[in-house]
């Protein structure tokens, strides 16, 4: 949905990109040639569940980006490209776009679920252009399947025609299993059963207790029940599950194998529903659990997808989702295909600096 303002925006930066998840929010200001002008990170947001406080926090983040770039405003950019978790229905995307438009940050606004940012971040069309030795059609539509496994799990598929396939992705009630939250709760479940004798022994028993600084898992369960520990913190246990599985802990290994099956299943269903089984369909993996590049998890995902749809091209996203949001914005305004290269290079340097640091 577009929201036009009197100003045509020709003198403004091209895109204000926003990627908001449950644990963090990134914003960036980008020129039409792909130059990254400013970027900032803030806390996670939960629109539409807590829209008012989310928008207040987002306003502070946008103001930081605007000041960093030395720009006046509003508007801050020609186009606002907002990709956010928890936008599970088109009406929620449209409502948020209206709320963002009311802030006056851009001449046009588009809000979508954050899975679209991961998909676009994983589709390096500038690399395809270089490999083909020809100029990419600026109107070409990015397509493929993205599975995001962060705090929760979600998947989106885009056909070359633009046709979409989406899961409901509302958690347990919509049949989901996967993400850091699910792994964390499963780790706690397995750990306390190992401790009280109902379940198989697992190194997760000691690891879970140590992670929360308690003497035993029993104490953690009571603290959660009393509200002394927030249940959202259980997602912090996901890396412990991956690490334990790597040491051949059978309980942890079963959890990782199950997660791999869920990720592969979502991707396979999306490919089939979009009639892309005979195409070289890109399958982009994103979110903190998948970008950890755990050998067992990613290996299983690749093997299961290849066994059923050999032509699928599985890859892990290498730039943050906010870069995908920015690229969606550049696509939207019709920026030259060459603009993708400097933007990817800027975020590649940022990620390398974080690793080196």
Residue 264: C-alpha distances to residues 178, 273, 283 (Å): 11, 14, 10
- Copy the structure tokens of residue 111: 């809000």
Which pLDDT does position 136 carry in this prediction? 45
pLDDT for the residue numbered 196: 97
Give the span between the Cα atoms of 82 and 136, in whole angstroms.
25
Structure-token pair, residue 277? 């089984």
pLDDT value, residue 354:
39
What digits encode the pLDDT tens for the residues 185-204?
999 999 999 999 999 999 99
- pLDDT at residue 351 above 80? no
- HSE-CB at 56 with a 13 A cutoff on CA atoms is 3
Range of 45-54, 65-74, 92-101, 266-275 with top mean pLDDT: 266-275
CATH 3.30.420.40 fits 143-317, yes or no: yes
Instruction: Pick 15-113+319-356's CATH classification: 3.40.50.720, 3.40.50.2300, 3.40.190.10, 3.30.420.40.
Output: 3.30.420.40
Q: How do the domains of the chain map onto residue ranges?
A: 15-113+319-356, 143-317
Judge if 15-113+319-356 and 143-317 fold alike in CATH terms. Answer: yes
Would you call 37 helix, strand, or coil by DSSP? strand
* pLDDT (0 to 100) of residue 4: 39
The CA distances from residue 135 to 34, 131, 132, 138, 344, in Å, are 17, 10, 8, 8, 18
Give residue 326's pLDDT.
Answer: 98
User: Tokens in use for 228?
Assistant: 């002394």
pLDDT tens digit string along 110-119? 999 999 999 9
Q: What is the mean pLDDT of the chain?
A: 90
pLDDT, tens digit (0-9, with 9 covering 90-100), for 203-227? 999 999 999 999 999 999 999 999 9
What 3-state class would DSSP assign to 146?
Answer: strand
Region 137-150: what's the mean pLDDT? Answer: 82
Q: Where are the alpha helices (DSSP H) in the chain?
A: 51-69, 90-102, 115-122, 125-132, 180-196, 204-211, 217-225, 238-246, 250-273, 288-291, 295-308, 321-333, 340-356
pLDDT tens for 19-33 read 998 889 999 999 999
Q: Is pLDDT at 135 greater than 50 in this prediction?
A: no
């Amino acid at each position: 949905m577009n929201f036009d303002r009197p100003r045509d925006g020709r003198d403004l930066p091209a895109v204000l990109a926003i990627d908001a998840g449950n644990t963090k929010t990134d914003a960036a200001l980008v020129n039409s040639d792909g130059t990254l002008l400013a970027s900032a990170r803030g806390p996670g947001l939960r629109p539409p569940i807590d829209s008012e406080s989310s928008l207040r926090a987002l306003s502070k983040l946008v103001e930081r980006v605007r000041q960093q770039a030395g720009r006046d405003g509003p508007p801050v950019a020609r186009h606002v490209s907002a990709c956010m978790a928890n936008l599970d229905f088109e009406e929620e995307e449209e409502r948020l776009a209206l709320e963002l438009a009311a802030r006056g940050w851009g001449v046009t606004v588009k809000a979508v679920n954050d899975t679209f940012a991961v998909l676009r971040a994983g589709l390096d069309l500038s690399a395809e252009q270089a490999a083909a030795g020809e100029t990419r059609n600026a109107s070409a539509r990015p397509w493929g399947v993205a599975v995001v496994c962060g705090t929760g799990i979600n998947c989106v598929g885009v056909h070359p025609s633009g046709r979409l396939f989406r899961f409901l992705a509302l958690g347990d009630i919509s049949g989901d299993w996967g993400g850091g939250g699910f792994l964390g709760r499963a780790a706690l479940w397995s750990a306390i059963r190992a401790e009280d004798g109902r379940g198989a022994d697992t190194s997760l028993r000691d690891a879970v207790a140590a992670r929360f600084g308690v003497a035993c898992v029993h104490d953690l369960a009571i603290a959660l029940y009393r509200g002394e520990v927030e249940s959202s913190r259980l997602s912090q246990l996901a890396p412990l599950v991956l690490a334990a599985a790597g040491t051949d802990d059978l309980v942890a290994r079963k959890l990782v194998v199950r997660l791999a099956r869920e990720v592969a299943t979502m991707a396979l269903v999306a490919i089939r529903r979009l009639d892309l089984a005979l195409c070289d369909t890109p399958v982009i993996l994103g979110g903190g659990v998948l970008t950890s590049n755990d050998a067992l998890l990613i290996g299983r995902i690749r093997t299961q997808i290849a066994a059923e749809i050999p032509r699928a091209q599985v890859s892990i996203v290498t730039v943050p989702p906010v870069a995908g949001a920015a690229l969606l914005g550049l696509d939207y305004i019709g920026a030259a295909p060459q603009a993708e290269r400097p933007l990817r290079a800027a975020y590649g340097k940022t990620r390398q600096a974080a690793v080196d640091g």
